[in-house]
Amino acid sequence: MQEPSEAQGQTQQSGEAGTFHRFSYEATGLSGRRMRLLTDIPTNDAGVPQDLPLGITDVISSDEVVGPNLSLRVHPVGEPSQIAYVAFDQLAIYDNE
């Protein structure tokens, strides 16, 4: 399993759940990992806003890898039945997860 890698030139940032950074679209091992939303209105690869609660900052990945459409299936923490597709460039991965 390849460890999610930091994109070139990206720095780490801190959030409520720890430090996070952007990751490559080639990253693997993403399923079950806590991720930080980097936008207030997350969209899928086509730019369609996704049905996630307002103000949400953290989600959990349901996909092992980024899909061919450059999106990941994610869900709010503790709500695995509320799936949304979010473009991978709108997400960062927590270092401690």
State the DSSP code for 55.
T
CATH of residue 38's domain is: 2.30.30
What average pLDDT does the structure give for the chain? 87
For residues 60, 11, 56 and 74, what is the CA-based torsion angle, rounded to 10 degrees? -30
Domain assignment of residue 28, given as a range: 17-94
Does residue 5 lie within any of the structural domains? Answer: no
What's the pLDDT at 96? 79
pLDDT at 79: 96
pLDDT beyond 60 at 7: no
Q: What is the pLDDT at residue 15?
A: 53
Q: How confident is the model at residue 9 (pLDDT cuts 50, 70, 90)?
A: very low
Position 50 in a domain: yes
**Average pLDDT score over residue span 10-17:** 58
Beta strands in 1-97 (DSSP E): 13-15, 18-21, 34-37, 58-61, 71-76, 84-87, 91-94
